[in-house]
Chains A and B, each alone.
Chain A
Amino acid sequence: EVQLVQSGAEVKKPGESLKISCKGSGYNFPNYWIGWVRQMPGKGPEWMGIIYPGDSDTRYSPSFQGQVTISADKSISTAYLQWSSLKASDTALYYCARRYYDSGSYYIDYWGQGTLVTVSS
């Protein structure tokens, strides 16, 4: 069974750093692109970026380029989303998600359970 299990909720102060994780299981982790999605309270999902764990090829959505860092360690089947200096506006629920390709179509077939990040002084 495919699973993406994310790290637990975090409460941080503005200016602090943070790294959250997403561990994949039940499939060949290096061979599937993994993305990160932000969902702010009461809003729709926003795509942040994606990484191919096999070679760490990473692409960012323009809105998030330079704001976060996406990485992966294929040896432990884990992807990461990292901030160097959090802002209150980073308060949101963050999902990891697996990109799937099938017969010419691309879509997200599995999601993590979400990690709530709260940034408050």
Chain B
Amino acid sequence: EVLLTQSPGTLSLSPGERAALSCRASQSVISSYLAWYQQKPGQAPRLLIYGASSRATGIPDRFSGSGSGTDFTLTISRLEPEDFAVYYCQHYDSSPKVFTFGPGTKVDIK
């Protein structure tokens, strides 16, 4: 079973700043099985990035994903007020058809 860790747990930044969120897998994973989601209070998670680096439909280009193997990064180039939220990485294991979520990184306003 792949375990995901995310760092930092909380990132305190100001609007306009750049955010870099890390997701590390316990073993090498297939990049196409790695996704990122954003969740705001009272809402379901929203898909941002799939296949490690492909933006989902309607996601602004300030969001980008990168990485391979065990280390992946979600970058928000310039934080907008609506970007303050919790971000989760997710891995799909095709054999038991199980998704695993990381513990999340909260991006809050400094």
Whether a CB of chain B sits under 8 angstroms from the CB of A1 is no
State in angstroms the CA–CA spacing of A26 and B88 once bound together: 27
Q: Of B44, B88, B101, B102, which is within 8 A of A114 by CB?
A: B44
Q: Nearest chain-A residue to B1 (Cβ)?
A: A62
Number of A interface residues, CB 8 Å?
25
A103 to B100, CA, bound (A): 20
Counting chain B residues whose Cβ lies within 8 A of the other chain, the interface size class is: 20 to 34
Known: A59-B96, A104-B32, A107-B90. A46 touches B54 (CB 8 A): no
Q: Which of B87-110 contact A (CB under 8 A)?
A: 88, 90, 92, 94, 96-104
8 additional contacts, CB 8 Å, given A59-B97, A107-B92? A44-B88, A45-B39, A45-B45, A61-B98, A62-B1, A105-B54, A106-B99, A108-B45
The 7 A-B residue pairs with the shortest CB-CB distance, nearest first, are A111-B44, A105-B51, A106-B92, A107-B50, A107-B35, A47-B99, A105-B32
